[in-house]
Each structure stands twice: as C-alpha cells, then as structure tokens.
Amino acid sequence: MQHTHTAEKCPRNNPETLRKIASHFTASNAGKHGVKLLADWVNPPAHTAILVLETDVAEKAVSFALPLLEIGSLTIQAGATWEEVARQHLGQ
C-alpha cells in the first residue's frame, strides 16, 4: 500500500496529526484491526509512505489505512513474496 500527501497536508506540519498517525500504524494496533503490519517505510521529503500488510481480506487493510485518506491518497496492490511466487509458478 502506498500513501502520498501534499506538503501542505504533511503530518509533520501538525503535531496532533503526526502523533495520531504514529500511534495508529504500529504492529500492536494493526493486530486489533485484524491486520499484520509486516513493514512500513516513510520518505518524508517525498511525502510518501509504504505499508506492507498481511490480512485475510483486503477490506481489513483498507479499513486500517483510513486515517491516511484524511491527509492524502492510497494506492493498494496485492502482492506476494518471491518464495510464494516461485512455489506457485514452479509447482513446488
């Protein structure tokens, strides 16, 4: 999942928003939403964040990411590990 926002909407400009996002996007909070947060990466100068989530249904990932829609956009894509792709395509 990729999130982007404008410089004007950047959470770094609003300590309350930054605290809200930082406390929301944690492994323990993700678990409360039925989501496993595998990784997150933020590039502040580019106003971009990447979340790698695991869940049984996409709707849970979308619901978990809703706070980001308050400040920008989301692009959601399903994915797999290299091991999973190889197993599927090589019949292993």
Q: Please state whether beta strands 48-54 and 2-5 pair in parallel, antiparallel, or not at all (unpaired).
A: antiparallel
Domain boundaries, the chain: 2-90
User: Would you state the pLDDT for residue 37?
Assistant: 97
The pair of three-digit structure tokens given for residue 13, joined into one six-digit string: 């400009």
What is the average per-residue pLDDT within 68-87?
Answer: 93
> pLDDT tens digits for 24-49?
999 999 999 999 999 999 999 999 99
Q: Report CA-CA distances (Å) from 70 to 6, 10, 38, 51.
A: 12, 11, 23, 16
Provide CATH code, domain 2-90: 3.30.70
Task: Please enumerate, as own/partner, the contacts of 15-20 that have beta carbons within 8 Å and a separation of 24 or more.
Answer: 17/71, 20/67
**Residue 81: CB atoms within 10 Å:** 9
> pLDDT tens digits for 48-58?
999 999 999 99
